[in-house]
């Protein structure tokens, strides 16, 4: 089969579009014929060797998958050949930047029927991240005020939609390129972080601050002062420590997305009921994944890009 792999860590040039053995599902696993995989910023970190995720080389990137079940390993129940599925794959295992991938059966859930199967690859890890940040780490409730810094990206898009649906009042940042999608996601207040100081724009305290943006420790600490006593600061960006304030009872939570098929199933249901929009910024053939990594490294990728095997 065709796959993109890296045999050593490094820049985008270490990625090779090449022939690789078709994987065979073991006990509790299924093989998926890939319809789409997603590009995530962490793919660049893993390829570069910056993330503490122990991959075996050569490694196939792409831990988000959508596709069709193609073969069953021993002991698999509840899935059949031909089922359309979506999943967040174990990050250290070979991923879905290939024609086929092997996945733990319990990582897969039925794909949303409302959107093209390939596009559904853009949902799992970012949808789970948004959900876990808001409702597990943030314990967000109806009526609370939420500030999302960095809402212009894929995680932010889902976070805003899920929070609004949960009855929160959402203040979100967006540069001009993201304003329309953040507005469509339902944010009640939008702050253009390229022209306006967020500190000036958010005068009233918020219950939950969710940071998704690459900001400095100083800027993050200043923002955390806008969280009410007893509130919470949640971050998905471990490069900068998440500031809390023990004296004021402000919790600090740095999250790492974890697999959760039950929550993923609920997220898929929201897509199918029309309550959650999946926004795909672009679709590229598998052979162009190395070029996509190079564009991402140059800061030229905005929004969720899905990678599609073409053979």
Least distance in Å: CB of 257 to ligand NAP? 4
3-state secondary structure the chain: CEEEEECCCCCHHHEEEEECCCCCCCCCEEEEEEEEEECCHHHHHHHHCCCCCCCCCCECCCCEEEEEEEEECCCCCCCCCCCEEEEECCCCCCCCCECEEEEEHHHEEECCCCCCCHHHHHCHHHHHHHHHHHHHHCCCCCCCEEEEECCCCHHHHHHHHHHHHCCCEEEEECCCCCHHHHHHHCCCEEECCCCCCHHHHCCCCEEEEEECCCCCHHHHHHHHCCEEEEEEEEECCCCCCCCCEHHHCEEEEECCCCCCHHHHHHHHHHHHCCCCCCCCCEEEEHHHHHHHHHHHHCCCCCCCEEEECCC
Footprint of ligand NAP on residues 53-92 (CB under 6 A)? Answer: none
For the purposes of burial, counting CB atoms within 10 Å of the CB of 139, is it exposed (0-12), middle (13-18) or buried (19 or more)?
middle
Least distance in Å: CB of 68 to ligand NAP? 26
- Binding-site member from 173, 185, 268, 278 for ligand NAP (CB under 6 A): 173
Footprint of ligand NAP on residues 230-249 (CB under 6 A)? Answer: 236-237
Q: Does 155 bind ligand NAP (CB under 6 A)?
A: yes
Q: Does 127 bind ligand NAP (CB under 6 A)?
A: no
Least distance in Å: CB of 53 to ligand NAP? 11
Least distance in Å: CB of 95 to ligand NAP? 15
Q: Does 44 bind ligand NAP (CB under 6 A)?
A: no
- Residue pair 304/126 in contact (Cβ under 8 Å)? The answer is yes
Closer CB to ligand NAP, 11 or 303, in the complex: 303
Rg (CA), the chain: 19
Q: Does 193 bind ligand NAP (CB under 6 A)?
A: yes
- Interacting stretch for ligand NAP, rule CB under 6 A, among 21-29, 59-67, 76-84, 174-182? 174-182
Residue number of the CB closest to ligand NAP reads 153
- Binding-site member from 177, 229, 248, 265 for ligand NAP (CB under 6 A): 177
Q: Does 159 bind ligand NAP (CB under 6 A)?
A: no
- Interacting stretch for ligand NAP, rule CB under 6 A, among 47-55, 81-89, 206-214, 266-274? 206-214
Footprint of ligand NAP on residues 266-295 (CB under 6 A)? Answer: none
Residues β-bridged to residue 169: 145
- Residue pair 151/212 in contact (Cβ under 8 Å)? The answer is yes
- Binding-site member from 26, 75, 143, 214 for ligand NAP (CB under 6 A): 214
Footprint of ligand NAP on residues 252-271 (CB under 6 A)? Answer: 255-257
Q: Tokens in use for 177?
A: 């390129």
Least distance in Å: CB of 215 to ligand NAP? 5
- Residue pair 2/98 in contact (Cβ under 8 Å)? The answer is yes
Q: Does 221 bind ligand NAP (CB under 6 A)?
A: no
* Rounded (10°) angle between helices 124-131 and 261-272: 100
Q: Does 129 bind ligand NAP (CB under 6 A)?
A: yes
Encoded one letter per residue, x for contact with ligand NAP by CB under 6 A and - for no contact, window 132-151 reads -----------------xx-
Considering CB under 6 A, how many residues would be counted as binding ligand NAP? 27
Closer CB to ligand NAP, 84 or 261, in the complex: 261
Where along the sequence are the contacts to ligand NAP (CB under 6 A)? 41-42, 126, 129, 149-150, 152-156, 173-175, 177-178, 193, 212-215, 236-237, 255-257, 302
């Amino acid at each position: 089969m065709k796959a993109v792999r890296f045999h050593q860590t490094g820049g985008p040039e270490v990625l090779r579009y090449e022939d690789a053995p078709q994987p065979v599902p073991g006990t509790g696993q299924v093989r998926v014929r890939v319809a789409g995989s997603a590009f995530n910023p962490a793919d660049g970190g893993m390829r570069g060797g910056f993330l503490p995720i122990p991959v075996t080389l050569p490694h196939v990137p792409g831990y988000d998958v959508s596709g069709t079940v193609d073969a069953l390993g021993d002991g698999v129940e509840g899935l059949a050949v031909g089922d359309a599925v979506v999943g967040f794959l174990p990050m250290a295992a070979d991923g879905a930047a290939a024609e086929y991938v092997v996945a733990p059966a319990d990582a897969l859930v039925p794909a949303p029927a409302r959107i093209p199967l390939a596009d559904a690859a853009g949902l799992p890890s970012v949808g789970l991240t948004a959900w876990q940040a808001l409702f597990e780490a943030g314990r967000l409730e109806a009526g609370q005020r939420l500030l999302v810094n960095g809402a212009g990206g894929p995680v932010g898009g889902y976070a805003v939609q899920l929070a609004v649906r949960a009855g929160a009042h959402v203040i979100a940042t967006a540069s001009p390129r993201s304003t329309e999608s953040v507005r469509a996601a339902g944010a009640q207040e939008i702050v253009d972080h390229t022209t306006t100081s967020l500190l000036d724009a958010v005068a009233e305290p918020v219950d939950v601050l969710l940071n998704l943006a690459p900001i400095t420790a100083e800027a993050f600490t200043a923002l955390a002062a806008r969280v009410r006593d007893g509130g919470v600061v949640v971050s998905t960006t471990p490069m900068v420590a998440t500031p809390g304030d023990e004296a004021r009872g402000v919790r600090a939570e740095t999250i790492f997305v974890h697999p959760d098929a039950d929550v993923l199933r609920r997220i898929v249901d929201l897509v199918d009921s029309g309550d959650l929009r999946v926004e795909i910024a672009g679709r590229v053939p598998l052979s162009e994944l190395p070029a996509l990594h190079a564009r991402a490294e140059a800061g030229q990728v905005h929004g969720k890009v899905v990678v599609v095997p073409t053979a």
